[in-house]
Amino acid sequence: MKKPFDFSGTKALIVGGASGLGKEIANALTAHGGDVILSSRDEQKLELISNEINDLDNTGVCSFAPVDVADSSSIKELMQQVSNISEGRLNILINSAGINIRNPIDKISIEDWESIHEINLTGAFLLNQLSFDLLRKADFGRVINITSIFSSVTYPDRAAYASSKGGLLMLSKTLALEWAKYNITVNTISPGPFLTEINTKVLDDPENYQKFCSRIPMTRFGEPNEIITSALFLASPMSSYVTGTDVIVDGGWTSA
């Protein structure tokens, strides 16, 4: 292909796309011609970000539809809206929704445990499941679930978060096997520490931030735009023989 990242005519849904890594990926896809639907709980923020992206004069169009991934009926409503906007097909699903509540296991409440798993794992399961019909009606299908390096390594106070992301990693690998015959690839991106909202607690504590950075060979957190190329590759037709793979973007953390 002369333009391997040409997404003209493709339809993408990014859940958790109103901030952080999802927002960066949305901007990149529209910049390369893809039409993107952003989704998250905050409708006002969705509208703001969607307008910001469209004001950049990208060749693709950004629209939005709200969802609460902790509510199965809300996800069903989202998929109906996506079907209407994208004319009954979907090329790309990117699930970037997630929360993290940090506590040692003796301090994790059952409510926090269930909330983390409901959003990070059960919500992801439903998004993938309910997107299936739209994905298989497209000329090609790409699913990218944003996991974390904590899906394969861990850190103190991350029992709930790491177990939810580990479950998402294995869910994705299983779907890769089930959906290969439909020309749908399912992969994950496991980011290390990035300068996004989910890491505010770490970033607000200079001592803790330096402690984290000491474990990273590149000695810094990633900039959100440094996720873009891995996402574009996995979302593109050029990655047609890549499925069940986890792309780690962590500044070398897991190699140290």
The catalytic site residues sit at 161
Cβ-based neighbour number of residue 91 at 10 Å: 25
Name the residue with tokens 């749908």: 184
Sign of CA dihedral 176, 177, 178, 182: positive
Cα separation, 148 vs 169, in Å, equals: 9
Q: Do 144 and 187 form a contact (C-beta atoms < 8 A)? A: yes
| Cβ atoms of residues 56 and 256 within 8 Å | no
For tokens 């390594």, what's the residue? 153
| Tokens 């996995």, residue located | 234
Contacts of 22 (CB under 8 A, 6+ apart): 14, 15, 16, 38, 40, 94, 96, 97, 146
Q: Is 53 exposed, middle or buried (0-12, 13-18, 19+ CB in 10 A)?
A: buried
**Rounded CA separation 235/32 (Å):** 12
- Using CA atoms, how far residue 194 sits from 71, 117, 200, 250, in Å, is 28, 21, 10, 8
